[in-house]
Structure 1
Amino acid sequence: MKKFLGAAIGNCVHVGGAVNFLRLVEKEGHGTEFLGAAVSIDKLIQATINLKPDVVCIGFRLTPESVIPLLDNLENEIEKRKLNNITWIFGGTKPVANIARKYSFFSKIFDGTEDLDEVIQYIKGNNLREIKTSYSQNLIDRIESKYPYPVIRHHFGLPSLEETFDGIEKIASSKILDIISIGPDQNAQENFFTPEKMNHELDGAGGVPLRSEEDFKKLYQCSRTGNYPLLRCYSGTTEVFKFAKLLKDTINNAWCAVPLCWYNVLDGRGPREVLDSITEGQKLMKWHGERNIPVEVNESHHWSLRDAHDTIGVVMAFLAAYNAKKIGVKHYISQYMFNVPPSMHHKMDLAKMLAKIELIESLEDKNFKVYRQVRAGLASLSADLDVAKGQLAASTYLAMSVKPHIVHVVGFSEADHAANADDVIESCKIVRGVIRSTLHGMADMTQDQEVVYRKNELINEAKVLLNALKELYPESPNSWCDPLVLTDAIKRGIIDAPHLRGNPSAKGTLETRIIDGKCLAYSKKLGRSICENERLSELLDIENTIISA
């Protein structure tokens, strides 16, 4: 525990910065004393002698030239009174901070451009005289060193290798995020180990054309600057275990992201059948769990992006986590994609996420820890970039209600073009501005009565579907993580989405509608929305009629 002494010096009456800094200091368990505004250098020196602080924090936010005589006087007094053993830090506007940087007795200078997490990291430092910060290269350590400030992630991958390398270096140097998610092109995901199968007309489609281990290693080397961000990458859609080892060995993959039911013939991302991909996905989770690498099962939003009703979104979020736990994953990254479908109301969207959280985190124990990751919806941002910036900020504000550990920033440019380095930096700055405004005292929307009612309703509806999976497959030892059951449930439409219509591996008959901001199952036969019991009854009645015929 250290003792901090703070003051605004000279005739400066702007104390907000100093007061906020000292509050952060107190939250980290240190003692504080604040002398107030317009404190003379004599009074500051005398208080320093009497109170014997470890750190003295000085604030000044007036004209830059007027701080010079004050700092000259302070420097002389520090030398004369032999107070060099104390850590002196300064906070002010950028022009004033530039003046302060000329005085060697300051060990740290804040100019207002720092984000909250950077300030907290400084306070947490064991040696406050050391300006350099060490950056954890382990996701869990990085999260725990910053929480409640979330770590920031952004996707990046341009059709040009060289532009991607340069962009990663620029992003890392900006210290704006903690995790760069590499987006390889579809050729790399599907045919990295079988390049003879690549259609080179599609090189760069969807991401960066990575073609060798050296390409991955260079990505990592380009990130070794600034705040040394972690790297992670999409999983492969074929040769998944070789691809996983490649990512671990080259970029120290921060965590694995693998779907439970996708990256196959359902979405056209690969040639695998649904049963094969579920089986392989489970084995891939196990592979990472055995190596203590965190796992994200990016499952639920794939259904919601295809207009599945909210109940299926909640159920698949739970089943993804359930499968990860059963297979031995210790650190689980649970992604909550807001604004899907885009026309959902914010209250109902939040309720859906809270239902997912309550079910998923009911699985937590000493061997299974869940970390919340939030993001804006893929299709929710306008092609008008100025509008999209506002939408990104609004989505982030809503998502901060669930106190996330990770914020996955979706670049504001996504509806217009793939984010370049400057877009990534600007998007992260927008999100950081929102986070800074919400960490202390934002309105608790999770307690809104409509939100709570809808959350409970969704939990009850989800339990209907989960119980149905057990009752309809009594021969399975555990239907919730049985690849045969899950594959058959998709084929029969028990788990379904409207966008799967015409897909031979799915039922594709589910109808949904957005009603009062919720995405609900809909019966054309009844001409109204229906609850889960009604949906399953209608579905199974049709199935039984077909079988009888």
Structure 2
Amino acid sequence: MRPLILGAALGNCVHVGGVLNFLRLAEDVGYRTKFLGPAVSIKDLIGAIIESEPEMVAVGYRLTPETGFKLFNELKNAVLEAGLTKPRYIFGGTIPVAKEAAKVGLFERIFTGEEGLDEIIAFLKGEDRKEGAESYPDNLVDRIKAKAPFPVIRHHFGLPSLEETIAGIEKIAEAKVLDVISLGPDQNAQESFFRPEEMDPKQSGAGGVPIRTEDDLRAIYKASRRGNYPLLRCYSGTRDLLKMAEMLKETINNAWCAVPLSWYNQLDGRGPRPVAAAIAENQQVMKWHGERNIPVEVNEAHHWSLRDAHDTIAVVMAYLAAYNAKKMGVKDYVAQYMFNTPPGTSGVMDLAKMLAKKELITSLEDENFKVYTQVRAGLSSFPVDMDMAKGQLNSSTYLAMALKPDIVHVVAYCEADHAATPDDIIESCKMVRQVIQNCLFGLPDMTCDPRVQERKKELLNEAQVLLNAIKKLGQASGSKDDPFTDPENLAHAIKIGLLDAPHLKGNPNAKGALMTKMVNGACYAYDFTRDHIITEEERIKKIIF
């Protein structure tokens, strides 16, 4: 039988919100709970303890500290007199009252409301009985399990100075507000870490921290060994990806790999690799991590949405990214869902698109392939006005919580104005944590909105049409490989425009003929000459049939 927690507001206190919230969390992690109500006398509480034999007794009191001190002493004496020292006694109240409760010596743990929800969950799971680094799992999967139902919090960080980045990581770790620091190297490091002679000194620090040696990474990792010991992860780079993967594992214990399927090459100008060669190398990176049981994120779909591709392509690429990861032997897959992209996407249509992606991705799950959901706000959705940007961060997080994420990738509200400082990151994470906490206490099921379900169904149908076309393209070329994993076939699909985006116009590696339009908050392929939405069947017929 599951252990029991008994809860009550003591004496003449009628404030029960804190106790009820605690009991609700306890139920989520596997306890049975029994709430005795407000203004419970010591006599009645003792009687209930004798009758119920709980493992834990949660007492709340939020009135006068001095009165509370007398009441807690009376409770302690009653507990000792009745021989009821076996249960664990915990207390929740205001800070002044908590100070008086601590003097009595009855309560094993005292909560004041300053704690994060994840800290309370850790207590209920017994995780906080460990000390130092042992309190915090050093890998993503165990961290997710330890924090559930609270999601793991991730944030990107990397300043143009190595010294400032190291100092910033120390400060962020001490704040204990996030679990994963995603290290952002500058473009020089991403493209030419193993070819330093090719680096442009004038571009040092452009886009992130100028990592130049393995010792730089070790110093960064050492800086994170404090506070809540956040996991570190880093971009996979845009060239020499396998070398980079090995180095990141050895230096920062890279929490998971983030690699695209078809990007970071000649297609987007972020590297010299041809598209097909890049896809093949990206697949090998997935395979390398899969063989070592390191989780993989294929950050693919939102790259198409960031270039204004219509929603169907985003859904298809989300599926193909996960499909390729599975075929390469990845066992733990991180599926990232970037909301608010392209600009003008409504909450209804955004949620529908993400649900379509998630349904396709999770259809791949089996005993050897586990999917973890990661949500984030779209970078381009943040206003320059900082107060409005805070509202955007919070509203985007609220909507994204409908996906029941395992990971929340926080984007600092300030990103439209400047790269996030440690203080910006800490503030942003605190705001998001409050939104998450509110949602975990009860969120309306926005996925049931009929408009959401109708659009999701439409996207799933359209996605299947495009997937069938990609499969037929590979079969028509005589390829003996899986059309969904064949680098040449995927590159060919991009070249002829099955996979396309308006921002690729003029790119020799792509068709660049797709035109899209936001209609009622969704992004569609659009014929501006005839002024109507183009279905996938109609669009594909013009390309290959």
Residue 322 of structure 1 is matched in structure 2 by 323
C-alpha distance 466-218 of structure 1, shift in aligned 2 (>3 A): same
CA distance in 2, matches of 1:11, 1:86: 23
Matches of residues 68-467 of structure 1 in structure 2 within 5 Å? Answer: 68-79=69-80, 81=82, 83-125=84-126, 134-467=135-468
- Deviation per residue, 1:329-376 (Å, 9 max, x gap): 111111110100120111111111111111111111111111111110
Structure 1 position 14 matched with structure 2 position 18: no
Q: Extract structure 1 runs of 4+ deviating beyond 6 A.
A: 128-133
C-alpha distance 12-245 of structure 1, shift in aligned 2 (>3 A): same
Structure 1 position 476 matched with structure 2 position 508: no
Deviation at 1:454, TM superposition (A): 0.9
- Deviation per residue, 1:70-124 (Å, 9 max, x gap): 2233344445555444322110122322333334332211111222222122111
Deviation at 1:440, TM superposition (A): 3.7
Amino acid at match of 1:533: E
Deviation at 1:472, TM superposition (A): 2.4
CA distance in 2, matches of 1:444, 1:296: 27
CA distance in 1, matches of 2:538, 2:299: 28
Contact persistence 2:473–2:489 (CA under 8 A): no
| Secondary structure in structure 2 of the residue aligned to 1:417 | coil
CA distance in 2, matches of 1:117, 1:284: 33
- Deviation per residue, 1:504-528 (Å, 9 max, x gap): 2111111111111111111244332
C-alpha distance 511-129 of structure 1, shift in aligned 2 (>3 A): closer
Amino acid at match of 2:539: R
Structure 1 position 506 matched with structure 2 position 506: no
Residue 42 of structure 2 is matched in structure 1 by 41
Deviation at 1:30, TM superposition (A): 2.7
Contact persistence 2:56–2:90 (CA under 8 A): yes
Contact persistence 1:4–1:56 (CA under 8 A): yes
Match for residue 527 of structure 1 among 518, 528, 531: 531
C-alpha distance 68-391 of structure 1, shift in aligned 2 (>3 A): same
Q: For structure 2, which runs of at least 5 residues remain unmatched after alignment?
A: none
State which drifts further: 87-96 or 303-312. 87-96
| Secondary structure in structure 2 of the residue aligned to 1:242 | helix
Contact persistence 2:7–2:35 (CA under 8 A): yes
CA distance in 1, matches of 2:75, 2:540: 77
CA distance in 1, matches of 2:40, 2:364: 55
CA distance in 1, matches of 2:207, 2:392: 23
| Secondary structure in structure 2 of the residue aligned to 1:359 | helix
Deviation at 1:181, TM superposition (A): 0.7
C-alpha distance 102-213 of structure 1, shift in aligned 2 (>3 A): farther
State which drifts further: 33-42 or 14-23. 33-42
CA distance in 1, matches of 2:51, 2:355: 52
Contact persistence 1:107–1:130 (CA under 8 A): no
State which drifts further: 439-448 or 203-212. 439-448
CA distance in 2, matches of 1:339, 1:447: 20
- Deviation per residue, 1:16-38 (Å, 9 max, x gap): 11122123223333333333222
Contact persistence 2:6–2:54 (CA under 8 A): yes
Amino acid at match of 1:253: N
CA distance in 1, matches of 2:50, 2:544: 82
- Deviation per residue, 1:54-84 (Å, 9 max, x gap): 3221111123333222223334444555544
Deviation at 1:306, TM superposition (A): 0.2
CA distance in 1, matches of 2:479, 2:19: 62
CA distance in 1, matches of 2:149, 2:237: 32
CA distance in 2, matches of 1:26, 1:447: 25
Amino acid at match of 1:534: E
Contact persistence 1:136–1:142 (CA under 8 A): yes
CA distance in 2, matches of 1:86, 1:525: 75
CA distance in 2, matches of 1:319, 1:429: 34
CA distance in 2, matches of 1:54, 1:381: 47
C-alpha distance 82-170 of structure 1, shift in aligned 2 (>3 A): farther
Structure 1 position 496 matched with structure 2 position 500: yes
State which drifts further: 466-475 or 370-379. 466-475
* Equivalences, count: 540
Deviation at 1:464, TM superposition (A): 1.0
Give the TM-score of the pair, scaled to structure 1: 0.94
CA distance in 1, matches of 2:124, 2:500: 50
CA distance in 1, matches of 2:448, 2:467: 26
CA distance in 2, matches of 1:42, 1:528: 74
CA distance in 1, matches of 2:461, 2:35: 52
State which drifts further: 408-417 or 172-181. 172-181
CA distance in 2, matches of 1:48, 1:363: 48
CA distance in 2, matches of 1:513, 1:61: 55
- Deviation per residue, 1:474-508 (Å, 9 max, x gap): 11232111100111111111111111112121111
Contact persistence 1:92–1:112 (CA under 8 A): yes
- Deviation per residue, 1:379-415 (Å, 9 max, x gap): 0011111101111111111111111111111111110
State which drifts further: 186-195 or 102-111. 102-111
State which drifts further: 133-142 or 328-337. 133-142
CA distance in 2, matches of 1:365, 1:394: 33
Amino acid at match of 2:507: N
Amino acid at match of 2:523: C
Residue 546 of structure 1 is matched in structure 2 by none
Amino acid at match of 1:302: H
Contact persistence 1:295–1:329 (CA under 8 A): yes
CA distance in 2, matches of 1:104, 1:164: 43
Residue 544 of structure 1 is matched in structure 2 by none
State which drifts further: 249-258 or 431-440. 431-440
Amino acid at match of 2:296: V
Contact persistence 1:177–1:428 (CA under 8 A): yes
Deviation at 1:540, TM superposition (A): 4.0
| Secondary structure in structure 1 of the residue aligned to 2:415 | coil
C-alpha distance 361-35 of structure 1, shift in aligned 2 (>3 A): closer
C-alpha distance 204-100 of structure 1, shift in aligned 2 (>3 A): farther
| Secondary structure in structure 2 of the residue aligned to 1:505 | coil
What RMSD, in angstroms, separates the aligned Cα atoms of the two structures?
1.9
Q: For structure 1, which runs of at least 5 residues remain unmatched after alignment?
A: 542-549
State which drifts further: 474-483 or 69-78. 69-78
Contact persistence 1:264–1:273 (CA under 8 A): yes
C-alpha distance 64-130 of structure 1, shift in aligned 2 (>3 A): farther
Residue 547 of structure 1 is matched in structure 2 by none
- Deviation per residue, 1:245-271 (Å, 9 max, x gap): 111011111110000111111112111
